[in-house]
Amino acid sequence: MVVNQTPMATIDTRLKLILDFNPRKATRDAINWGPNTDIIEDMNKAQLLDGKKANGEDMPKYEQFTLKNKPSQFIPSNKSYSLKDKGKLHNLIIATANMSSLSITSTDSDKNEKLQHNGPGESVKEEEAFGLTEENRDLMNKKLIIPFMHRRLRGEV
């Protein structure tokens, strides 16, 4: 059944939406909304496959041991650790948010082992690998969170 709202009822509804609006809750909901979550997870996967840490710095370089013992198709041309040879790790990335933070991790039970550099040398901590670069955080805000907030204020989501 369609109910015709009077202009005053529409104003009252909009005013209630505005007064009840909580930016932290809207941000959390925007991140946890299915399509947005998938995009954020894909952003982190792309960073890892490009050999980038969450802060935008390059992953450590492969050790000589690894370069000699891995099939060449798994070693990127720039020789930075890219996790391409660790498919399960980046295929199990999940993004979630609460009222104060965004969390990106992998449900791969061996994630910490897989983040260790092969052979003696530098390793990557989970918090360095999982997360978005500043560029991707800006993109997430502009393309996902702000439009979601606008839809929330219009009562669409």
Alpha helices in the chain (DSSP H): 7-20, 23-32, 34-49, 64-69, 87-91, 111-115, 126-129, 134-140, 146-153
What is the 3-state secondary structure of 133-154?
CHHHHHHHHHHHHHHHHHHHHC
Phi, psi of 98 (to 5 degrees): -120, -165
Task: For residues 134 and 57, give the distance between their C-alpha atoms in angstroms, rounded to a whole number.
Answer: 11
DSSP letter assigned to residue 62: P
| pTM higher than 0.75 | no
Q: For 3-54, how does the pLDDT look when each residue is reduced to its tens digit (9 = 90+)?
A: 455 555 588 888 888 888 899 999 999 999 989 999 999 999 888 888 888 9
| Number of residues that make up the chain | 157
Q: For 50-79, how does the pLDDT look when each residue is reduced to its tens digit (9 = 90+)?
A: 888 899 998 776 555 555 555 555 555 555
What is the SS3 assignment for 72? helix
